[in-house]
């Protein structure tokens, strides 16, 4: 079946719990923030811990700067099957904050291995204030 022959999907809004469950089931997403008054997006790996998105980052990263100022950011992850035109997308919006508690910091550094070869000594949490999600279904 070609893409033109694939059945048309419809979008179904997800509840908060289902959206967070889907987000917790994948490892890669995108953090979205404002840089020089323009939208900026960075791919990062994450984990979900008690409803909070956790990412690791490095000295000088734009994400760390926003976390130090406790600014609002968004985090998006998705999973799609282009053959069936089904899948889902989840966006959480909330304040980014740097993890400074030594116990939490060590725990997250143990649980979350960065995907890139770089010293990633900082951990940032995004506590979702707004959670939106959609599933594409046939």
Asked if 52 contacts 126 with a C-beta cutoff of 8 angstroms, the reply is yes
pLDDT tens digits for range 89-100: 999 999 999 999
Selection from 112, 138, 134 nearest residue 22 by Cα = 134
Each domain of the chain, given as residue ranges in start order, spans 10-133
pLDDT reading at 138 higher than 80: yes
Three-class SS state of 38: strand
CATH assignment, 10-133:
2.30.110.10
Mean pLDDT value of segment 37-44: 92
Q: Are 44 and 61 in contact (CB under 8 A)?
A: no
pLDDT value at residue 44: 93
CB-based contact 55:30 (threshold 8 Å): no
Q: Give the β-pairing of 10-13 and 28-35.
A: unpaired
| Contact (CB, 8 A) for 90 and 19 | yes
What pLDDT does residue 5 have?
63
For 19, the enclosing helix (H) or strand (E) is helix 16-24
pLDDT, one tens digit per residue, over 49-81 is 999 999 999 888 888 888 888 899 999 999 999
């Amino acid at each position: 079946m070609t893409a033109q022959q694939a059945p048309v999907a419809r979008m179904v809004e997800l509840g908060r719990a289902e959206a967070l469950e889907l987000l917790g089931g994948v490892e890669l997403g995108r953090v979205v923030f404002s840089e020089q008054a323009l939208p900026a997006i960075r791919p990062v790996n994450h984990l979900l811990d008690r409803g909070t998105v956790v990412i690791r980052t490095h000295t000088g990263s734009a994400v760390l700067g926003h976390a130090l100022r406790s600014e609002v950011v968004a985090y998006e992850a998705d999973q799609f099957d282009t053959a069936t035109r089904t899948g889902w997308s989840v966006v959480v919006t909330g304040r980014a904050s740097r993890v400074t508690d030594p116990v939490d910091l060590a725990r997250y550094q143990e649980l979350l291995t960065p995907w890139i070869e770089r010293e990633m000594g900082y951990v940032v949490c995004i506590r979702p204030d707004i959670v939106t999600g959609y599933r594409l279904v046939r």
